[in-house]
A and B are shown apart, each in its own frame.
Chain A
């Protein structure tokens, strides 16, 4: 009997130890995958009064960097060396103006066309390469992210409320709604289902990145879920606070997330995804970029020595990415040393 108890105790001790070591080594898979980077250029690094609140950015076909500044209500264009070329728009109700702060921008190289959304607005404004207003497209609900696909279709995502409207909408070149769908496996809690969008031109897939869930989903252009994955070293869901609904009205909001799992996503033309970390990252909030395949295999980790809220991997500039810093008042261009 004593021997049996002894063996059982030893077994329990060993299995506890194993569990503990598994937890401790959760991040171990990151250590041999680090990808070094080198800064090549930076816009507004010395607070040169060029940028005040970056809320989104892209690059044009000639390599210029085009930035939404939501403090100034305008779009600023910089050349590849970071020199300010022009400023477009201001606060106002005209076609070339913004009623709400511009917050996201997408560029379509085939048509030399920019799409800009304003914060919490359902209006998408299209501008030509000289930033003259072309037309506006009305989405059913406020748009949280936009991207163009290879066929110049515009894809939008809204905060999910599937009982009222579709979350993903695809508009054709003329601005007509072509198709729409709802993401799979939503929690039903609107804030936890908030996601950003990316189009992977190599695989021709729509990628959804959830801000408060450890979940990346890969869809084809027909809205069919191809695969989804989580990163094993991060929690499945962000911590939240209970939402006190004092209005008495029904609401899809139950809990309010207080931390981020992810902040942003981009992809290169080789099919890699770049996912910007949230609060649960080993290196700190907004300071880690996970490079994965669309199947979810972790390939590399980039450790940033600054906090970044937005990243962008430009097409046709292999081995480079852009990231914001200095509380979204600067944009840097970084070379990845593979």
Chain B
């Protein structure tokens, strides 16, 4: 074998090995993001736990498409930090409404007002805050394990990760990236 050919083969092997190594490193990086910042020590629900809620309308929801449930107990917004945190997050979601309209769903807890009054209130509130995603009224927040306040419920396959409001900013961006398919989450 000529000397030149040997050098070429060695160069190709080095390039391939470098690519494999870079690919390994980047995968490791994603896995780190998911494990440390996103899933690490988060409370989770089984996807079927959502059925423990009483849905007050008979609209059909295609739950297979939903990636994010936003669970709202309006009285939690007496906490300004939680409210502004939620509104900022909601603004980020609104920008993607046209593509992800079926992936995000609001679950709003019934309060002790007349249903008509609460519906009117929520419709007005959504309009004022430019929230376009669909909502449904539910009862029985307390029946959901590990949920005791307004939260983002991020669905990944058959489990749901619970993020109670307010959410730290680094988690915000990770949730958004996940919902909008920018990163892959490897729960294993």
Contact of A137 with B by CB under 8 A: no
Q: Given A47-B120, A49-B120, A91 and B129 touching (CB < 8 A)?
A: yes
Tally of A-B residue pairs with Cβ under 8 A? 26
State whether A49 touches B87 (Cβ < 8 A). Answer: no
Contact B125 A52 (CB under 8 A): yes
Which among B87, B120, B128 is the interface contact of A72 at CB below 8 angstroms? B128
Shortest distance from the beta carbon of A328 to any chain B beta carbon, whole Å: 11
Of A49, A90, A101, A327, the residue contacting B83 (CB under 8 A) is: A101
Interface status of B182 (Cβ within 8 A of chain A): no
Cβ–Cβ < 8 Å partners of B80 in chain A: 100-101, 119-120
Assuming A91-B87, A101-B80, A120-B81, is B128 touching A47 (CB within 8 A)? no
Per the CB 8 Å criterion, the residue count for chain B at the interface is 13
The reply to whether B121 and A100 form a contact with Cβ atoms under 8 Å apart is: no
Which A284-304 residues sit within 8 Å CB-CB of chain B?
A: none
**In chain B between 118 and 140, which residues have their CB closer than 8 angstroms to a CB of chain A?**
120-121, 124-125, 128-129
Q: In residues 38-53 of chain B, which contact A (Cβ within 8 Å)?
A: none
A70-123 residues at the B interface, CB under 8 angstroms: 71-73, 90-91, 99-101, 119-120
Chain A residue nearest to B112 (CB atoms) is: A327
Given A52, A90, A119, which contacts B124 in the complex, CB threshold below 8 Å?
A: A52
Contact B121 A52 (CB under 8 A): yes
Q: Is B187 an interface residue (CB 8 A)?
A: no
A110-146 interface with B by 8 A CB criterion = 119-120
Contact call A73/B128, Cβ cutoff below 8 A: yes
Q: Judge if B1 is at the interface, Cβ distance under 8 Å.
A: no
In this assembly, does B157 line the interface, its C-beta being within 8 Å of a C-beta of chain A?
no
A249 CB, nearest partner CB in chain B, Å: 17
The answer to whether B124 touches A49, judged by C-beta atoms less than 8 angstroms apart, is yes
Q: Does B99 contact A (CB under 8 A)?
A: no
Q: Are A47 and B124 in contact (CB under 8 A)?
A: no
With A71-B125, A72-B128, A91-B129 in contact, do A100 and B120 touch (Cβ < 8 Å)? no
Assess whether B113 is interfacial by the CB under 8 Å rule.
yes
A73: chain B residues within 8 A (beta carbon): 128
Separation of A47 and B117 alpha carbons in the complex (Å): 8
In the complex formed, the residue of B with least CB distance to A121 is B80
Residues of A within 8 A of B121 (CB): 52, 71
B 128-165 contacts with A by CB, 8 A: 128-129
Interface residues of A in 40-81 (CB under 8 A from B): 47, 49, 52, 71-73
B-side contacts of A47, CB under 8 Å: 117, 120
Least Cβ distance of B166 to chain A in Å? 12
B12 an interface residue at 8 Å Cβ cutoff? no
Which B residues lie within 8 Å of A99 (CB)?
84
Q: Please, which residues of chain B bring their CB within 8 A of the CB of A90?
A: 128
Chain B residues, Cβ within 8 Å of A327: 113
List residues 67-117 of chain B with CB under 8 A from any CB of chain A. 80-81, 83-84, 87, 113, 117
Q: Which residue of A lies closest to B123 (CB)?
A: A49
User: Nearest chain-A residue to B130 (Cβ)?
Assistant: A91
Taking the closest CB of chain B, its distance from the CB of A32, in whole angstroms, is: 36
- CA–CA, A71 to B74, complex, Å? 11
> What distance in Å separates the Cβ of A161 from its nearest Cβ neighbour in chain B?
18
How many whole Å from A100's CB to the nearest CB in chain B? 6
**For residue A101, which residues in chain B have a CB less than 8 angstroms away from its CB?**
80, 83
Distance to closest chain A CB from B138 (angstroms): 20
Q: Is the CB of B128 within 8 A of A71?
A: yes
A72 to B87, CA, bound (A): 12
User: In the complex, which of the residues B81, B117, B125, B128 has the most CB atoms of chain A within 10 Å of its own CB atom?
Assistant: B128
Bound-state Cα–Cα, A327 to B118, Å: 12
Contacts of B120 in A (CB 8 A): 47, 49
Given the complex of chains A and B, what is the CA–CA distance between A120 and B128 in angstroms? 21
Residues of A within 8 A of B124 (CB): 49, 52, 71
Within 8 A of B (CB), among A318-338: 327
- In the complex, the chain B residue whose C-beta lies closest to that of A69 is B128
Q: In the complex, what residues of A have CB within 8 A of residue B87's CB?
A: 91
- Give complex CA distance A91, B81 in Å: 15
- Interchain residue pairs with CB less than 8 A apart (15): A47-B117, A47-B120, A49-B120, A49-B124, A52-B121, A71-B121, A71-B125, A71-B128, A90-B128, A91-B129, A99-B84, A100-B80, A100-B84, A101-B83, A327-B113
Q: Which 3 pairs of residues, A with B, have the shortest CB-CB distance?
A: A120-B80, A119-B80, A72-B128
Seed contacts A71-B124, A119-B80; 5 additional CB < 8 Å A-B pairs? A71-B121, A71-B125, A99-B84, A101-B80, A327-B113
Residues of A whose CB lies within 8 Å of any CB of B are 47, 49, 52, 71-73, 90-91, 99-101, 119-120, 327
